[in-house]
Amino acid sequence: MSWYRNTVWFVKGLREYTRGGYESASKHFNPADVEVDVAGRSFLVTGANSGIGKATAKEIARRGGTVHLVCRNKERAEVAKEEIVTETGNQNIFLHIVDLSNPKEIWKFAEKFRNEHKLNVLINNAGCMVNNRELTEDGLEKNFATNTLGTYIMTTALVPLLEKAADARVITVSSGGMLVQKLDISDLQSGNGPFDGTMVYAQNKRQQVVMTEQWAKAHRNIHFSVMHPGWADTPAVRSSMPDFYARMKNSLRTEAQGADTVLWLAVSAEAAKLPSGLFFQDRQPVATHLPLAYTHSPPEDEEKLMEVLEEFSQKFKSISPG
């Protein structure tokens, strides 16, 4: 069945995920949706020093928002911050250095952030695709640690702060690649069998969709959404998927096009009118499963994922320094 999923997904991608797909979809966009002033609202963007994260942060800054950039590499992050401030004239840009593959570090950051700042919108953009199985210092497989557990801890740790805010939102940047994966809770750290970084990444992205759906049920005062940015020309795509990039580079979306739906979900009034927990592509909610792909999971598996992530989360919280 995997060949069917992969083939259908790739054909769908050629039609919808490329620059041409964006140009076609954008004919139906309402520009006024994102022509808004968000001064006084606070946004946190992970992975904000390049690619879709930086493009999103820059557009929010242009609209007057206070933007917290959460990045792993201090030097690159400082360059990105300076660029955003210079291009937008917005001085309310703050930098936080956090490794999203280190759960103890995320807890320490979130606890400090909750005491010092307000937050209206969390944008979980940081991610990685490591093509060989690597373990973090905590013994976690790196893709899982960053894409799934890191996203889980950052979100759950900041939910208490978001619950105090007006029009609170959480947006997670997933991938259409998740359409080729059925949730698999039997091997969350990909320790069994051959390791395929692309498929591990896709599984993590399926997990993000499930997490979003579960959070939406649990936290009714916060608007949750998850989205696919399309196939965009970003540093991450160039470094992690060189063969794909070489084949598709002339058809890839720009970073700004990839970030468009993130921005729309973060600032527009229209996005908040739609139900919480949906998966978006080009400003529209779309299906989370391909027809006949058999990727639906039983509810107990989805609940089990959240239980396991909570167990991991609490384990690292209990030994968090500071």
DSSP letter for 39, please.
Answer: T
Q: Are 81 and 93 in contact (CB under 8 A)?
A: yes
Question: 283 vs 25, 61, 167, 270, 291, CA distance in Å?
Answer: 9, 20, 18, 10, 21
- Whether pTM exceeds 0.85: yes
- Please check whether residue 95 is in contact with residue 77, taking contact to mean a CB–CB distance below 8 angstroms: yes
The residue type found at 90 is N
Residue 54: what are its φ and ψ, rounded to 5°?
-70, -40
Q: 127: buried, middle or exposed (CB in 10 Å: 19+, 13-18, 0-12)?
A: buried
> Is residue 241 within 8 Å of residue 198, measured between CB atoms?
yes
pLDDT of residue 322: 45
For residue 235, the Cα-to-chain-centroid distance in whole angstroms is 16
Who contacts 135 (Cβ-Cβ below 8 Å, separation ≥6)?
141, 142
Averaged pLDDT, 9-34: 93
pLDDT of residue 292: 85
Mean pLDDT score across all residues of the chain: 94
What DSSP designation does 174 have?
-
Q: What is the pLDDT of residues 91-109, one digit of tens each?
A: 999 999 999 999 999 999 9
Distance (Å, whole) CA 235 – CA 259: 14
Other beta carbons less than 10 A from residue 320's beta carbon: 15
What distance in Å separates the CA atoms of residue 68 and residue 46, rounded to the nearest whole number?
Answer: 8
Which CATH class, in words, describes the domain spanning 3-315? alpha beta
What ranges do the domains of the chain cover?
3-315
CB-based contact 321:104 (threshold 8 Å)? yes
pLDDT in tens, 158-191: 999 999 999 999 999 999 999 999 999 999 999 9
Average pLDDT over residues 213-223: 98
Residue 312 or residue 233, greater confidence? 312
Tokens standing for 145? 């640690």
Q: Are strands 66-71 and 168-173 parallel, antiparallel or unpaired?
A: unpaired
Residues 263/285, Cβ–Cβ less than 8 Å: no
**pLDDT average, residue stretch 28-57:** 97
Per-residue model confidence (pLDDT) at position 319: 52
4 is catalytic: no
Task: Spot the catalytic one: 17, 22, 152, 201.
Answer: 201
